[in-house]
Amino acid sequence: MKKSLIALAALGAFAGAASAQSSVTLYGLLDLNYQFIKAGDSASLGTAAGSDINKLSDGNDWGPGSRWGLRVAEDLGSGLKANVVLESGFTSDNGASGQNGRLFGRQAFVSLASATLGEVRLGRQYTLHDEVQLLTNPFGNATILNPGGGGGYATAGTLAAPTGTSRLPLFIDAVRQDNAVQYISPSFAGFRVQGMVAAGEGVSDRYQGVKGTYANGPLNVGLSYEQSHARVPVGGLSNVNKIVELGANYDFGVVKLFGGFQQGKDLTIGSGAPGGAGNGSQIGSLTIPAVGGAAFVANKLRAGTVGVSVPFGAITLAANYTQAKYENAAGLDRTLGRVGIGATYALSKLTTLYTAYGQSTGDLKDAVLEKQVFQLGLRKAF
């Protein structure tokens, strides 16, 4: 009897040790918000210019969007870990799959990580400028305050399905990259470097980028540079979509300040886009409407954003201003900006009420379908 009990105890201890070495975590986020949207005076929401619409929409419109995912971690010993991230996006207002119907369209990668040597990731991953953009916005990449959410659809048509178009970018945010290999270094006194490449595999252009970050106490800074080597040269150019982004924030405790700058050169929205048409998300529309002159296709963008947030217990108030300038090779240029204000109320660590309002500014403010946007939403993580 004693031998049986000892054997069972040993087996239980072994099982406990094995389970401690490997873990699987299910997680997710549901984000829904009511929106009131008013079109610019020369745009249309499917009827007359200056019309408006009420809708219930997933947070994906200007933010992170609903998703569920799995994280797997296994301790291999000697400080080495194997990890897997599989993340599936969907629109919670209608239950449809996101990212053009991909099962794990948000992320899908496997990695080996060492505290002393860094981490190597293989698979579908976020682009480096998208990660830098998180530093520039009081609410991260969420709500109408998100500079990477786009300035609005510059086209007539139905807002719910503006066929064949994408929003004019304020900050370019080509979110993800297929077939990517990324190296992330350990942190050295707050400094960290990353590098990522992705072969186009005959479908998209080859992507390559580098990123550096510094995080120390209240200060966070990120700088990235990315470009694509064109599978088919665009206008005689072999290297296109050259994107530099700088983002930073500083937390004074009673107030937190945010800022960011982005420059894009030799831009194209073909398969050469980082995370572009061959990868399920695009740089954004570069066709600038005829406002104050002829329409043109932009190949250059400069954008900046500044913001502030102030916490009051469970409530956080925030505001920011973002402006983009679009140019073409002939020197034509137009501007589009947005001022945003918003607030969040934390019902718990995992449940948040939020509201935000955005107002377009600049040359193109009356040409976009979302000149004014009001949001009231609920975000629940698990």
The structural domains of the chain, ordered by start, are: 22-381 (2.40.160.10)
pLDDT tops 80 at residue 277: no
Q: Which amino acid is at 353?
A: L
Report the C-alpha dihedral over residues 100, 103, 106, 111, rounded to 10 degrees: -140
Q: Give yes or no for a contact between 230 and 267, defined as CB atoms under 8 angstroms apart.
A: no
pTM of the complete model:
0.89
pLDDT tops 50 at residue 2: no
Query: Exposed, middle or buried by CB within 10 Å (0-12, 13-18, 19+), for 127?
Result: buried
Q: Give yes or no for a contact between 243 and 172, defined as CB atoms under 8 angstroms apart.
A: yes
Provide the percentage of residues in the chain whose pLDDT is more than 90.
69
The C-alpha atoms of residue 211 and residue 220 are separated, in whole angstroms, by 13
Instruction: Tell me the C-alpha to C-alpha distance, in Å, between residue 344 and each of 167, 341, 348, 357.
Output: 25, 11, 12, 12
Q: Which residues pair with 324 in a beta bridge?
A: 303, 336
Instruction: Tell me the C-alpha to C-alpha distance, in Å, between residue 11 and each of 6, 7, 20, 77, 141.
Output: 9, 6, 14, 21, 47
Residue 302 phi/psi, 5-degree rounding, is: -125, 130
Higher per-residue confidence, 43 vs 353: 353
Length, in residues, of the chain: 382
Q: Give yes or no for a contact between 258 and 136, defined as CB atoms under 8 angstroms apart.
A: yes
Q: Give yes or no for a contact between 297 and 289, defined as CB atoms under 8 angstroms apart.
A: no
Residue 3 phi/psi, 5-degree rounding, is: -65, -40
The C-alpha atoms of residue 349 and residue 382 are separated, in whole angstroms, by 10
* pLDDT tens per residue across span 11-67: 343 344 444 589 999 999 999 999 999 988 887 655 556 688 899 999 988 888 999
Summary mean pLDDT of the chain:
88
How much is the pLDDT for 18?
44
pLDDT tops 90 at residue 347: yes
DSSP state letters, 179-202: EEEEEEPPPBTTEEEEEEEE--TT
